[in-house]
Chains A and B, each alone.
Chain A
Amino acid sequence: MSSVTIATLPREELLAPGHRMCQGCGAAIVMRHLLKALGKNVIIAHATGCVEVTTTLYPETAWRVPWVHVAFENAAAVASGIEAAIKVLKRKGVIESSKKVKVVAIGGDGGTVDIGLQALSGMLERGHNILYVLYDNEAYMNTGIQRSGATPMYAWTTTTPAGKVWRGEWRRKKDIVSIVRAHGVPYAATVNFAYITDFYTKIRKAAEIEGPTFIHAFAPCVPGWRYEPHLTVKIAKLAVQTGIWVNYEIEKGVFRVTTPVPRRLPVGEYLKLQGRFAHLTKEEIETIQRIVDEDVEYINKLAGATVIGPVERKG
């Protein structure tokens, strides 16, 4: 595989402009570069969600590749059917056997880690040749910012409001990649578009590997996370620099951090830009720091080295 550089990113836009995603939408950036990385020879099965409703308002579509949406919880099952159809139709000579088509399923965090988890598990376990891409904006943004299993600790959402008793979400984010890994898939990785060459490299690798592969993409959400649209990439970058998000891959069971962070920034640098964390006290921020420290320790253990370093305290 040739290495990816900024200069060699594909020029062709397969996600047409004019869609209705928000200004600064992280998921929009994920989709644009996902399609560039994949190229034209794909069929997409999409779960219900933000991206689905904002890109396909009939009679328009932003998708310049074949695309299908059926329901919320079944993108992985629909993709399984498409993949099976291509396989058998090639065998029967209806589709030319040399034709290269990659089936890609896309879902948000609700459609993947919650309601779509069963269909995803089935797809992974059966070994379909499908790339599943999760764009994670950490809540049900399409319906108006309700918490999902992927909402992080203390985040305000409309169903975990910060009040006298509740302080936002009080449970930790579900570790979906570990669940995926437990299925013994050949490849699973996390991506963050602030590290765009890493993003392209992993998408292409995941698409080229035969079998079920999984990409967990970080997707900041302007209205849901309550920040100014121009901060999307900055927030994405801070997520990695604080260790809240770790770019890694698991290839044939081998764990590797692809974006080492020798010195971490304190989590407050990431949290303070987002209105969903505006209610936090100093103690609560320290709790989040402690959770991230634990997660980083676990990551380093998996990596067998200190790839994510300690927090650099200022002054």
Chain B
Amino acid sequence: MGRKVIPLSGNHAVAYAAKAVDVDVIAAYPITPQTAVVEKLAEFVANGELDAEFIHVESEHSALSAVVGASAAGARVFTATSAQGLLLMYEIMHIASTMRLPVVMSIATRAISAPINIWCDHSDFMAASDTGWVMFMALNAQEAHDLTVAAYRIAEDPEVELPVAVGYDGFWLSHTVEPVEVLDTDEALKYAPKRYRRYVLDPERPITMGPLASPDWYFEFRVQLHEAVEKSREVILRAFDEFGRSFGRTYRPVDGYYTEDATVVLISMGSASGTALAYVEEARRSGVKVGLVNVRQFRPFPEEELYKHVERAGVVAVVDRAINSGSAFVGPLYSDVALTFFKRGFDIPVLDFVVGLGGRAVTRRDFDEITRRSLAYLGKRMRDVKQHYAFIGVRE
């Protein structure tokens, strides 16, 4: 068995990953732009290429509920969704994490209604940021594939036992085709072996899962969840290292490009980071000292790793693809970045640029504008910034 490079969309890259780790139970409900991932998995099961139970659920709420049930019974499970579907799952997302079930879900990120819009932004992904899930955001189709495989190893680690979500930008990644090196089942299972494992529903060892916890106990459950999420930081690093040793692609919670001597550091997540990198390389050629940090691991938020890349910067520009209107921070990625600085007493302007909502393209020109506007604050302090956020590429 050898690895092969084939042209795959992000959706299909994820489907191949779920197949590579030999998932036992799949439950998913169709929603654009996620659909192709479950269509492909249905095809695998229909052709006998993957031995799994495929539950044709009647909603996303039931999709996550069904894989929670299957996971509680010991199966390796997979589900996928986007936007409204993710919001319908929201209730069960919290339950999956506190019940410590290693569910893996892919999210083809999409804008949230209203108005209804099927195109990419990070509103859905960000809405799940408080659910206690480990959350990754892929930069390209290869990453969507690799991170999905890694997700199983992390989720099922006895020190973690948490659900993991892998985001990848709707359409920009879910529907564009790239060459992807696909892992075969033998090597994927060697890397992420199944753990039939842990506490499961079994008549020979009756246990009660999902009980009522009074004020005497509830707090401890939530703190244990918090500790597991914190613990996942080192497990993720180990899983990434091992992935690099096994397959030659080493991932980090964040990537830094040209950050050593950058005056302005852009911080971005998802496919826009690819565009940002193209811009940064272009700008560097014309002498602009701009750098880029791509955030791959969103939960738990990699403060230390991020800070290493930005501590020498003069201005930081966070590029957000979602809005939290009425908050003090506006962009959700911004809130984590700004607090990373605040906690370290580091007082430089940290600006927030909201881009690309509802599938609006994010271009090199946008990054140029962001960089120029950021440079205007060079040498200033945060308290000198009158308005910390701006919308880029929107009608006046």
Which B residues lie within 8 Å of A125 (CB)?
58
Contact status B203-A81, CB under 8 Å: no
- CB-CB < 8 A to B58: which residues of A? 118-119, 121-122, 125
Assess whether B131 is interfacial by the CB under 8 Å rule.
Answer: no
Contact at B66–A118, with CB atoms within 8 Å?
no
A179 on the interface (CB 8 Å rule)? no
By a CB distance below 8 angstroms, the chain A residues around B59 are 118-119, 122
- Contacts A81-B70, A122-B62 given; indicate if A66 touches B213 (C-beta within 8 A): no
- CB–CB A119/B203 < 8 A: no
Given the known A-B contacts A94-B196, A118-B58, are A84 and B65 also in contact in the complex, defined by CB atoms under 8 Å? no
Q: Is B55 interfacial (CB 8 A cutoff)?
A: yes
Q: Is the CB of B70 within 8 A of A57?
A: no
Q: Is the CB of B24 within 8 A of A88?
A: yes
Cβ-defined contact, A85 with B70, below 8 A: yes
- B212 near A: Cβ within 8 Å? yes
With an 8 A cutoff between CB atoms, is A74 at the interface? yes
B27 touches A81 (CB 8 A): yes
A80 touching B69 by the CB < 8 A rule? Answer: yes
Residue of chain B at shortest CB distance from A100: B203
CB under 8 Å from chain A, chain B span 60-74: 61-63, 65-74
A70 and B65: CB pair below 8 A?
Answer: yes
- B55 vs chain A, min Cβ distance (A): 5
Cβ of A69 and Cβ of B210 under 8 Å apart? yes
Q: Report whether A80 and B74 are in contact in the complex, using a CB–CB cutoff of 8 Å.
A: no
Using known A-B contacts A81-B55, A82-B73, determine if residue A61 contacts B208 with beta carbons closer than 8 Å: yes
Q: Does chain B have a CB within 8 A of A101? A: yes
The CA of A95 and the CA of B55, in the complex, are separated in Å by 20
On chain B, the number of residues with a Cβ less than 8 Å from chain A's Cβ atoms is 45
| B69, A78: Cβ atoms closer than 8 Å | yes
Interface segment among A39-47, A152-160, A184-192, A235-243: the answer is A39-47
Chain B residues, CB < 8 A from A61: 208, 211
The reply to whether B24 and A69 contact each other, CB–CB distance below 8 Å, is no
A66 → chain B closest CB, angstroms: 4
Q: A78 and B66 in contact (CB under 8 A), knowing A42-B203, A66-B206, A71-B91?
A: yes
* Distance A122 CA – B55 CA, assembled complex (angstroms): 10
Q: Is A91 an interface residue (CB 8 A)?
A: yes
Is there an interface contact between B24 and A81, defined as CB atoms closer than 8 Å?
no
Query: In the complex, are the beta carbons of B53 and A88 less than 8 A apart?
Result: yes
Contact B69 A68 (CB under 8 A): yes
Return the contact of A57 from the options B52, B67, B68, B212 (Cβ within 8 A). Answer: B212
Asked if A313 is an interface residue, CB under 8 A from chain B, the answer is no
Interface string of B2-32 (1 = CB under 8 A from A): 0000000000000000000000110100000
For B51, the chain A residues whose CB sits under 8 A away are: 88, 91-92
Contact B217 A85 (CB under 8 A): no
Q: Which residue of A lies closest to B63 (CB)?
A: A77
Among A52, A74, A91, A125, the most chain B Cβ lie within 10 Å of the Cβ of: A74
Asked if B207 is at the interface (CB within 8 A of a chain A CB), the reply is yes
The reply to whether the CB of B372 lies closer than 8 angstroms to some CB of chain A is: no
Residues of chain B within 8 A (CB-CB) of A58 are 211-214, 217
Whether B68 lies near A66 (C-beta < 8 A) is no
Contact of A82 among B56, B72, B207, B208 (CB under 8 A): B72
Assess whether A77 is in contact with B69, with CB atoms less than 8 Å apart: yes
Asked if residues A80 and B68 are in contact (CB atoms below 8 Å), the reply is no
CA distance A91 to B52 in the complex (A): 9
B392 to chain A, nearest CB (A): 40
Whether A59 sits at the interface, judged by CB under 8 Å, is: yes
Q: How far is the CA of A69 from the CA of B71 in the complex (A)?
A: 13
Q: Is the CB of A43 within 8 A of B210?
A: no
| Partner pick for A74 among B62, B70, B75, B77, CB 8 A cutoff | B62
Contact of A119 among B62, B72, B99 (CB under 8 A): B62
Asked if A73 lies at the interface with its beta carbon under 8 angstroms from chain B, I say yes
> What 0/1 readout, one digit per residue, does chain A (44-55) give for beta carbons within 8 Å of chain B?
010000001100
Q: Knowing A80-B62, A122-B58, say if A52 contacts B69 (CB, 8 Å).
A: no
What residue of chain A has the Cβ atom nearest to residue B99's Cβ? A70
Contacts of B237 in A (CB 8 A): none
Q: List 19 A-B contacts (CB under 8 A).
A: A57-B214, A59-B217, A66-B208, A68-B69, A74-B65, A77-B62, A80-B66, A81-B68, A81-B71, A85-B69, A87-B53, A88-B25, A88-B51, A89-B196, A92-B51, A118-B58, A118-B62, A122-B62, A125-B58
Known: A66-B206, A74-B62. 20 other contacts (CB 8 A): A42-B203, A45-B69, A63-B208, A66-B208, A67-B201, A69-B209, A70-B68, A78-B66, A78-B69, A80-B27, A81-B71, A81-B77, A85-B25, A85-B71, A86-B73, A88-B24, A88-B53, A89-B74, A118-B58, A118-B59
Residues of B within 8 A of A (CB): 24-25, 27, 51-53, 55-59, 61-63, 65-75, 77, 91-92, 95, 99, 196, 201-203, 205-214, 217
